[in-house]
C-alpha cells in the first residue's frame, strides 16, 4: 500500500527509476535520506524532479540499493540481460575461476557453508 500524498506532477524518468529501486529494496524515503545524510524532503525531490547528483551521491545511492551505478541509466531490458554477482563478488569469483579445479572446489565448499549458515 502506498503512503503519502499523491504527486502534483509526473516523475522524471530518472526519478521513477530511483523510486523503483528504493521500493525494490523495501526502503522508505526517510530511510534512504538518513543513509544519505540528507533530509527526507531533499531526497523526495530526487524522485520527483530532474536534479543534478554528484558521482559520490550516485555511488552512495547505488550502494544503499545494492546495485551498480550503471543500473540507474540502463534500460529494464539491459538490466535483465546482465546476470551474476556484482562488484567485489564478481571480481573475486572471476579470479577464483582462474585457479586450479581442486582449489576452486575448496573455495566453493567454504562459500556454500557460509550461505547455508546464513539461511
The Cα diameter of the chain in Å comes to 60
3-16: per-residue pLDDT in tens?
Answer: 666 666 677 788 88
32: Cα separation from own chain's centroid: 12
85-100: per-residue pLDDT in tens?
Answer: 566 777 787 788 888 8
pLDDT band at 2 (very low <50, low <70, confident <90, very high): low
Spell out the domain ranges in the chain: 13-81, 87-118
Cα 21 from Cα 27, distance rounded (Å): 9
19-72: per-residue pLDDT in tens?
Answer: 988 998 889 999 999 999 999 999 998 888 888 888 999 999 999 988 888 888
DSSP 12: P
Which CATH superfamily does the domain covering 13-81 fall into? lambda repressor-like DNA-binding domains (1.10.260.40)
Asked if the model's pLDDT at residue 1 lies above 60, the reply is no
CB of 23 closer than 8 Å to CB of 14: no
Amino acid at each position: 500500500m502506498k503512503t503519502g500524498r499523491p504527486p502534483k506532477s509526473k516523475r522524471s524518468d530518472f526519478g521513477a527509476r530511483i523510486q523503483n529501486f528504493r521500493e525494490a529494496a523495501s526502503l522508505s524515503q526517510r530511510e534512504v535520506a538518513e543513509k544519505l545524510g540528507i533530509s527526507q524532503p531533499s531526497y523526495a525531490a530526487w524522485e520527483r524532479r530532474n536534479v543534478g547528483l554528484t558521482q559520490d551521491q550516485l555511488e552512495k545511492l547505488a550502494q544503499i540499493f545494492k546495485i551498480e551505478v550503471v543500473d540507474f541509466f540502463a534500460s529494464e531490458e539491459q538490466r535483465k540481460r546482465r546476470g551474476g554477482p556484482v562488484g567485489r563478488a564478481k571480481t573475486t569469483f572471476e579470479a577464483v575461476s582462474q585457479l586450479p579445479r581442486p582449489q576452486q572446489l575448496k573455495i566453493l565448499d567454504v562459500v556454500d557453508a557460509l550461505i547455508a549458515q546464513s539461511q
